[in-house]
Structure 1
Amino acid sequence: MSRRSIGIIMNGVTGRMGYRQHLIRSILAIREQGGFELPDGTRLWPEPLLVGRDEQRVRAIADRHGIDRWTTSLPEALAEPDMQVYFDAQLTHVREKALLAAIDAGKHVYTEKPVADSLDGALRLARAARDAGITHGVVQDKLFLPGLLKLRRLIEGDFFGRILSVRLEFGYWVFEGDWQPAQRPSWNYRTADGGGIVLDMFPHWRYLLEHLIAPVESIYSHAVTNIPRRWDEQGSEYAATADDSAFAILELAGGVTAQVSASWATRVNREELLELHVDGVRGSAVAGLRNCRIQERAMTPRPVWNPDVPSPHRFLEQWAEVPDNTEFDNGFKAEWEMFLRAAYLGEPFPYDLVDGAKGVQLAQIALESGRTGRRLPVPALEV
């Protein structure tokens, strides 16, 4: 069986997500399985070139994983003719410039979110990619998680009938950093560095709602900084200027209402860090990262509100698990294979930079809604 190579410039692999999810669990995992099969039966083999600002760190990663090619110069990497794809997992505020340089160099581009720190910047990227005729994509990993794939199966099988509402809950307690190290990098909590839970997470909620349920038509939101002082990776105290909690009501097409609660200042009292509760006329489902539970119309209990006596119901026990029925791959890896196949074949990718711009748009409108205290429309994007 023949093998074809595709070169990938990976910028930002010294960061947490770039290293763990994209390098180790995606690209190196694809190499460990011998590449993946193309429609004609050949196997596509990724060849990474690592890029990082810190020479010592990027060299150490390359040595640790037996990767021959690395550099601290993005222009040098973009000049390599055998590198067809550019991937970006850098800090948000430097991403747009690097992506524009890659598009100008004729590379296909694949990027983490948010794609830019402003809607103007996100649209600039989408237009540049369209005009260059390249394949372009945005990481939308949560669509490929087992729990959400099971939810998609239910939706496509018309399990719900008419969908009425969606409730999305996400979050956990991120330690302040003084007496226990924080689980997230300190830049997440500085507005100047592109931090904030709205800019970070609302692009996720946008693609989940649109690709699973219906497009967002309006939003009313409230964002707050609950923890104003934090300690960084060196143990130094700093002012947390970015929002760490956000709550929103969204109107979706077709009359569906969505509630969103997202916080890095909440303690978990649910089965998974992310849960999506969907109610429909014929049934309901609660999907997390791994699992999905359902309750059909015919099996719905008949509770009666009576605060004076203990409830006889054990509500959580009245839901049934959706079976796996298949083997689920790592969500990041699955989307990587999907994107690399599209880039190699010169095909469009469904989750493209226009989709990425929609995520930035929703985040910006959510922040504006919070500042003004108004429900605001989410208009269609003109690219």
Structure 2
Amino acid sequence: MATHPIGIIMNGVTGRMGTNQHLIRSILAIREQGGVALPNGETLMPDPVLVGRNEAKLEALASKYGLNRIETDLEQALADECNVIYFDAQTTSRRAAAIKQAISAGKHIYCEKPTATSLDEALELAELANKAGVKNGVVQDKLFLPGLLKLKRLIDSHFFGDIYSVKLDFGYWVFEGDWQEGQRPSWNYREEDGGGIIVDMFAHWRYVIDNLFGEIQSLSCLGATHIRKRVDEDGQPYKATADDAAYAIFELENGIVVQANSSWVTRVDRDDLLTIHVDGKYGSAVAGLRDCKIQHRVMTPRPTWNPDIPNPIAFQELWQQVPDNEPYENGFKAQWELFLKHVHTDSPFPWDLLEGAKGTQLSDLGLQAWRERKWVGVPKLAATVPAKHI
């Protein structure tokens, strides 16, 4: 059967996420497995060209992984007809301009989120892609995590009955950079460079909530910059101007209440860096990145408040693990394979640039709710409607 090469422009691939999740664990992993198998027995084989501003970094990356295509001039990469997909993992402030170039060149678009620094621009990208007739997608990797796939299985099987509430807890301590190097780039903590945990994480919470629990109707949010001085990659102190924690409540159209805490200033005493606790009429579940545990109502203990005696119930021992039942791929790789099939065979791919714009909308609204100290509504979005929603 035939093997079809599919050229992919990978811009920003020298960054942490671009290198590890998208190049090594997705595109290279797909190549190593022999490509993406199609229903007709044929195969798609990704052919990446690594694009960036630092030629030395590109050469080192290509040499390490046996690749032979690099380019520092995006226009040159876009001019090559062999390249049919443009992928962007640059910093957010650079993304929209490059995507517009790629749309003008007739390339299909796949990109990290947020797709743009403002809702107007995010909607503009969706509109331009639709008008140009290019296929487009946005990375929504957490939907493909084993823990969330198990949680989705529970929801689809009606394990919970009516769902009442969700507690989403994410975060860990990011070192300040003085006595230990920080685990995240310093721009994340500068508002002027597009940093902030609301901008970074609310795009994730939007697609997680929308796809698992229901559409968001309104929200309240309190952000904070708890650590105001940090040290950058060069050992230079700088003022942190972006929020490093956010405490939000989302009210869904179906009545479910979602509490979401996001923090880079918290020490972990949870099962995972992300946990999603769901309470329903017939049972509860707690999902992490890989695992998911449940407690049915017939297994629910009967606690009584009495602070004068030691607690007699070992609460955590009364939960059951949801079995794997199937192998799980890397979430980034799984979505890459779906997008490649979408481009080649027109198979469904619902996570487009409009879905990405919804993430930017939620970030903007979270910042507005914090700034104005009030509940704000979440209007419906459409790519054909001017972005005068906030």
Q: Deviations over 1:102-138 (max 9, x none)?
A: 1111100000010000000100000001111111000
1:193 alignment counterpart: 193
| SS of structure 1 residue aligned to 2:96 | helix
Aligned length: 383
Pairs within 5 Å for 1:119-138:
119-138=119-138
Please report the TM-score for the alignment, with normalisation by the length of structure 1: 0.99
Structure 2 distance, partners of 1:275, 1:346, is 34
In the alignment, the residues of structure 2 paired with residue 123 and residue 90 of structure 1 have an alpha-carbon distance, to the nearest angstrom, of 19
**Aligned match of 1:37:** 37
In the alignment, what sits opposite 2:80? 80
For 2:311, what is the secondary structure of its paired residue? coil
Shift of 1:349: 2.0
1:192 deviation in Å? 1.3
Alignment map for 1:170-209 (pairs within 5 Å):
170-209=170-209
Q: CA deviation at 1:348?
A: 5.1
Distance 2:315 2:154 in 1: 21
Question: In the TM superposition, what are the counterparts of 1:293-372 in structure 2 within 5 Å?
Answer: 293-347=293-347, 349-372=349-372
Counterpart amino acid of 2:112? E
| Matching residue of 2:268 | 268
C-alpha contact (below 8 Å) 2:171/2:266 kept by paired residues: yes
Counterpart AA for 1:368:
Q
How far, CA to CA, are the matches of 1:48 and 1:195 in structure 2? 29
Residues 150-207 of structure 1: CA deviation (Å, up to 9, x unaligned): 0000000000000000000000000000110100011111111111000000000010
Residue in structure 2 matched with residue 246 of structure 1 by the alignment: 246
Which secondary structure does the structure 2 equivalent of 1:309 belong to? coil
Q: SS where residue 114 of structure 1 aligns?
A: coil
> For the Cα contact (< 8 Å) 1:135–1:349, is it kept in 2?
no
Cα distance, 1:347 vs. partner?
4.5
Deviation at 1:2, TM superposition (A): 2.1
Q: Deviations over 1:29-77 (max 9, x none)?
A: 0000000211211011000000011111111111111111111111110
* 1:59 alignment counterpart: 59
Pair 170,208 (structure 1): closer, same or farther in 2 beyond 3 Å: same
Aligned to 1:111: 111
The equivalent residue for 1:90 is: 90
Q: Please give the alpha-carbon distance, in whole angstroms, between the structure 2 residues aligned to 1:55 and 1:2.
A: 34
- Distance across 2 between alignment mates of 1:15 and 1:192: 19
Q: Distance in 2 between matches of 1:377 and 1:90?
A: 31
Query: CA separation in 1, counterparts of 2:323 and 2:195?
Result: 38
The residue type paired with residue 259 of structure 2 is Q
Aligned to 1:230: 230
**Which piece of structure 1 moves more, 337-346 or 135-144?**
337-346
AA aligned opposite 1:374: K
Q: Which residue pairs with 2:12 in the alignment?
A: 12
Letter in 2 for 1:365: L
Cα distance in 1, alignment partners of residues 230 and 277 from structure 2: 32
Structure 1 letter corresponding to 2:184: R
Aligned residue runs from structure 1 range 282-297, under 5 A: 282-297=282-297
* Distance across 2 between alignment mates of 1:99 and 1:263: 30
Q: Kindly provide the amino acid, as one letter, of the partner of residue 230 in structure 1.
A: R
1:221–1:367 contact (8 Å) kept in structure 2: yes
Deviation at 1:257, TM superposition (A): 0.3
Q: How does 1:138-177 map to 2 (within 5 A)?
A: 138-177=138-177
Is the CA contact 1:8–1:83 (under 8 Å) kept in the aligned structure 2? yes
Secondary structure of the 2:94 match is helix
Distance 1:64 1:249 in 2: 45
CA distance in 2: counterparts of 1:78 and 1:238, whole angstroms: 37
**Residues 222, 248 of structure 1: 8 Å contact kept:** yes
Task: Give distance in 2, aligned partners of 1:193 and 1:241.
Answer: 10
Matches of 2:94 and 2:353, distance apart in 1 = 16
Letter in 2 for 1:87: F
In the alignment, the residues of structure 1 paired with residue 105 and residue 381 of structure 2 have an alpha-carbon distance, to the nearest angstrom, of 26
Question: Match of 1:211?
Answer: 211
TM-fit CA distance, 1:354: 0.5
For 2:344 and 2:7, how far apart are their aligned partners in 1?
A: 10
Is the contact between residue 145 and residue 290 of structure 1 (CA under 8 Å) also seen in structure 2?
A: yes
RMSD after superposition: 0.7
Distance in 2 (alpha carbons) for counterparts of 1:117 and 1:41: 41
CA distance in 1, matches of 2:49, 2:11: 9
Q: Contact between 2:248 and 2:260, CA under 8 Å: does it hold in 1?
A: yes
One-letter identity of the residue aligned with 1:234: D
8 Å Cα contact 1:135/1:347 also seen in 2: no
**In structure 2, distance between residues paired with 1:30 and 1:224:** 41
Contact 1:135 1:348 in 2 (8 A): no
Number of the residue aligned with 1:220: 220
- Distance in 2 (CA, whole Å) between partners of 1:222 and 1:338 is 36
1:348, 1:335 → 2: CA distance?
12
Q: Does the Cα contact within 8 Å between 1:189 and 1:195 map onto a contact in 2?
A: yes
Contact 2:354 2:382 in 1 (8 A): no
Instruction: Look up the equivalent residue of 1:62 and give its one-letter code.
Output: A
Q: Which runs of 5+ in 1 are unaligned?
A: none
CA distance in 1, matches of 2:28, 2:382: 38
- 8 Å contact from structure 2 (residues 283, 294) kept in 1: yes
